[in-house]
Amino acid sequence: MRKLRKSPTVGLAFKNSLKGNTPDKRREAALTAKLVLDWLNAAPSASTKRVESLIEACHRVSELVETIKASGGPGSGQNAEVLRAASELNIGLGRYKWHPGVSGSMGAHSHFKIVFGILGVAFDQSLAMEHYSVQWIVENVDAVQKVRRCRVATCRKWYYAKTDHQKYCGGACRQKDAAQGDDFKEKRRVYMKKYRSEEAERDARAKRLANRLGKGKDK
């Protein structure tokens, strides 16, 4: 007999909803991130650089908070670091001025979609995408840590991570870094150092053996 799966408690479901961590919210964040990622991966501009700096600021806050959690609680100066990082993030967000609006939505959970119009500026495609991206960051701030850049120096493509430990935009870059990246170079350096040491020891043993043989012949 297969055991019945336990349903999440009301308390846990409520906590997840507060954190924006429900399955529906995670799926929606991944789907809506694609437009932002496509824009970031297009031609760089002042607008994309501003959004990139906001994403990196979110990463800093998340990393600091996770470090505090892992250490069992805030240590001396750690709270101050989080406050500084959050302050830098809020300064970046403070440059955006919007007015709220709504449009109809065909989504499963709402008849409305909240939109923010740009105050006091004529329509500009790049600026509109910048504001859309900032709106995505604000609405999905707990998912921003999933928006990452490929660690391969020749790629650096933005992608949405499917797992917490993902470091590459795809399998090709993962294989490339395994063959040419810093980790490979370090392993190669250690291997060659060991190989040269063993080779020098083999040469030394061969010379000692040759010397002993030569002395034996002299006798």
* pLDDT reading at 148 higher than 90: yes
Number of helices followed by number of strands (H, E) in the chain: 7, 4
> 211 exposed, middle or buried (CB, 10 Å; 0-12, 13-18, 19+)?
exposed
For residues 47-65, give the mean pLDDT.
Answer: 95
Residue 165's nearest CA partner among 154, 151, 178 is 151
* pLDDT reading at 135 higher than 80: yes
pTM strictly above 0.75: no
157 or 16, greater pLDDT: 157
Domain spans, the chain: 15-149, 181-219
The confidence band for 7, taking pLDDT boundaries of 50, 70 and 90, is: very low
The confidence band for 100, taking pLDDT boundaries of 50, 70 and 90, is: confident
The two three-digit tokens of residue 129, written as one number = 């995408």
Q: What is the pLDDT of residue 93?
A: 94
